[in-house]
Amino acid sequence: MLHLYHLKNSRSFRIVWLLEELKLHYPIDYQLHTIDRDSKTLLAPESLTEIHPMGKAPILLDDTLAVGEQSMAESAAIIEYLLTNYDTKMQFRPSEAKLWRDYVYWLHFAEGTLMPPLVMGLILRKSVKKSPWFVKPVAKKFTTAINHAVLAKNITKALAMIETTLDKQPWLAERFSAADIQMYLAVYGAKLANKITSNHPNIQAWLVRCEQRAAFVRAKELAGEPL
Amino acid sequence: MLHLYHLKNSRSFRIVWLLEELKLHYPIDYQLHTIDRDSKTLLAPESLTEIHPMGKAPILLDDTLAVGEQSMAESAAIIEYLLTNYDTKMQFRPSEAKLWRDYVYWLHFAEGTLMPPLVMGLILRKSVKKSPWFVKPVAKKFTTAINHAVLAKNITKALAMIETTLDKQPWLAERFSAADIQMYLAVYGAKLANKITSNHPNIQAWLVRCEQRAAFVRAKELAGEPL
């Protein structure tokens, strides 16, 4: 039996979606442990460190593995584990050399390139909001400068590259793959941060294509909104 | 022929190291294109976007591939590509299920979990330094709060987990693997940010073990300091 620890509105949505794509069904093939964010910090509750030392979702627990080796973390590593063990027909990880390269690229790109500036922007915005009134104006100016000098530039480049890719093909590695699942959450995060504009018609259409998949709809019923 | 675009003191050091571990030798098997950082921004020069649209190092170009598919980016994706094509004896990517899980975990952990708070800390420190004098005191207070609330906690947890792992085994996936190469750069970044302390004797010993490998020494001769 698989156990997925899912933090509401978080990266772990990806794993629910992939489990459903793989036709592993709740509650027959996996248990879903949905966890609320800490009401004060809005982060994962400290108790999650009991399941995995980093205390972050997703955590996948496979109780057929040896004791002490059952809990796994990092979205993309969990994706690779599930594909290796359950994607017997190689439906979600292409085997052709070119498509495999694209798959691996986008799988790493999501957390390696696109998420860091988005998360940094989010942390800065939240921190400005929480600042005392006499700090706020300077903090706002300070974070705006960082946004201009570093974050916006990287996010714009990343989205332009995704847009170009999706102009040539419907999915990031031509056919639908787990790279689309890994990337969806990052791109959806960009959308919530108002970074997806009229310059990105292909990205907008791809987001809709993702959201219309039966497994995505089912994941949303089970796990709630992706972010 | 392989061409590696290496930005000085950057993540692309990893790829030089891996190429040398694979006994692909400069200048017979690969060309090394070493690029200086922009003297003003200290980032990669804008010209790198001509090789790959993100304009970040490492970029690996394999001219045996079809035109338009030759350039690859993302450290870990390049690592996976090199291993798939040149690590014929599976020396650097273990095939045993447990070790493979550890390998995949650390491969993603480096950029997915450890690097983002380190890079954010670096950007904040640099931005405070560049602030005008009348902004600096408030900016310092503001960034210290972020460090305490978010960054330090995550870095501490990550290092503690690495330390525990290296207490049981000499390398992150038991035997030396490309996961050590991918992680070295992140952990070395933590060291330069003074995060490695007397609480981390195993990490310190592992850093030395990495640095003593013949391929690492050769990479340093060719590519300069890792960071």
pLDDT score of A42 more than 90:
no
Can you tell me the distance from the alpha carbon of A6 to that of B27, in angstroms, rounded to the nearest whole number?
Answer: 49
**Residue from the list A73, A105, A150 with its beta carbon closest to the beta carbon of B123:** A150
More confident residue, B196 or B41: B196
* Cross-strand pairs, B5: B33, B59
Q: Which one is predicted more confidently, B110 or A149? A: B110
pLDDT at B167: 98
Is B77 close to A138, i.e. CB distance below 8 A?
no
pLDDT computed for residue B40 by the predictor = 86
Does the structure show a pLDDT above 90 at B163?
yes
State what percent of residues in chain B have pLDDT above 70. Answer: 100
Average pLDDT score over residue span A21-40: 95
- Which positions ≥6 away from A197 have C-beta within 8 Å? none
Contacts of A84 (CB under 8 A, 6+ apart): B100
Residue A181, Cα to own-chain centre: how many angstroms?
Answer: 7
In this prediction, residues B104-125 reach a mean pLDDT of 97
| For residues A52-69, average pLDDT | 95
pLDDT band at residue A197, thresholds of 50, 70 and 90?
very high
Nearest to A116 among B101, B105, B116 (CB): B116
- Searching chain A, which residue's CA lies closest to the CA of residue B111? A112
Q: Which residue of A has its CA nearest to B107?
A: A77
**Chain A to chain B, count of Cβ pairs less than 8 Å apart?**
125
Residue B117 DSSP SS3: helix
Helix boundaries (H) for chain A: 13-21, 75-86, 97-109, 115-130, 136-146, 152-168, 178-192, 201-211, 214-223
Q: Which tens digit of pLDDT belongs to each residue from A4-26?
A: 999 999 999 999 999 999 999 99
B77: nearest CB among A41, A72, A108:
A108
Provide the 10 A C-beta neighbour count for residue B57: 26
**Residue A104, φ and ψ in degrees, nearest 5:** -65, -40
Task: Report CB contact under 8 Å: B53, A105.
Answer: no
Whether residues A142 and B138 touch (CB distance < 8 A) is answered with yes
Phi, psi of B28 (to 5 degrees): -80, -50
User: Which residues are bridge partners to B2 per DSSP?
Assistant: B30, B62
Q: Scanning the structure block, which residue is given the tokens 């509401």?
A: A8
Which pLDDT value is given to residue A8? 97
Assigned token pair, B170 = 């000499």
**B216 and B18 in contact (C-beta within 8 Å)?**
no
User: Which residue type, as a one-letter code, is found at position A117?
Assistant: P
Contacts of B158 (CB under 8 A, 6+ apart): A54, B109, B113, B114
pLDDT given for residue A30 in this prediction: 98
How confident is residue A154, by pLDDT bands cut at 50, 70 and 90?
very high
CB contact under 8 A, B53 and A160: yes
Q: Is the pLDDT of residue B174 over 90?
A: yes
Q: Name the residue of chain B whose CA is nearest to A70's CA.
A: B98
> Quick one: closest CA in B to A135, which residue?
B138
Contact A206, A171 (CB under 8 A): yes
CA distances A180 to A13, A87, A216, Å, are 13, 15, 12
Q: What is the pLDDT of residue A98?
A: 97
Q: Which residues contact A204 (CB under 8 A, 6 or more apart)?
A: A196
User: Would the pLDDT of A40 be above 90?
Assistant: no
* Per-residue pLDDT at B117 exceeds 90: yes
Answer yes or no: do A73 and B160 touch at CB < 8 A: no
Q: According to the model, what pLDDT value does residue A196 have?
A: 98
For A76, A226, B26, B28, B76, the CA distances from B61, given in Å and listed in that order, are: 25, 36, 14, 15, 15
Asked whether the predicted pLDDT for residue A41 surpasses 90, the reply is no
pLDDT at B148: 94
Q: CB A111 to CB B111 under 8 A?
A: yes
**Nearest CB to B127 within list A105, A123, A146:** A146
User: Are A180 and A210 within 8 A, CB to CB?
Assistant: yes
pLDDT, averaged across chain B: 96
Pairing of the two strands B71-73 and B59-62: antiparallel
Model confidence at B50: pLDDT above 90 = yes
DSSP-assigned letter for residue A226:
-
Q: Taking residues B182-209, report their average pLDDT.
A: 98
- State the average pLDDT over residues A193-198: 98
| pLDDT value of position B124 | 97
Measure the CA–CA gap between B23 and B47, rounded to whole angstroms: 30
pLDDT of B42 above 90: no
> Do B98 and A72 count as a contact with CB atoms less than 8 A apart?
no
User: Which residues on chain B are in Cβ contact (under 8 Å) with A135?
Assistant: 138, 141-142
CA-based nearest residue to B187, from B153, B155, B209: B155
Beta-bridged to residue A35, according to DSSP, are A7
Q: Is B157 in contact with A75 (Cβ distance < 8 A)?
A: no
For residue A168, give the 3-state DSSP assignment.
helix
Strands A59-62 and A71-73 turn out to be antiparallel
Q: pLDDT class for B94, splitting at 50, 70, 90?
A: very high
Q: What is the mean pLDDT of residues B49-72?
A: 95
> Do the beta carbons of residue B130 and residue B121 sit within 8 Å?
no
- Which residue in the set B142, B149, B161 is minimally distant from A54, CB to CB? B161
Is the CB of B150 less than 8 angstroms away from the CB of A76?
no
pLDDT tens, residue by residue, B13-26? 999 999 999 999 99
**A151/A135 Cα distance (integer angstroms):** 22
* Long-range interactions of B126-131: CB distance < 8 A, separation 24+: B127/A142, B127/A145, B127/A146, B127/A149, B131/A142
Nearest CA-CA distance, residue A119 and chain B, Å: 9
Sign, CA dihedral A89-A91-A97-A100, equals negative
Phi, psi of B66 (to 5 degrees): -60, 150
Nearest to A58, CA basis, from A21, A107, A3: A3
Contact criterion met (CB < 8 Å) for A127 and B149: yes
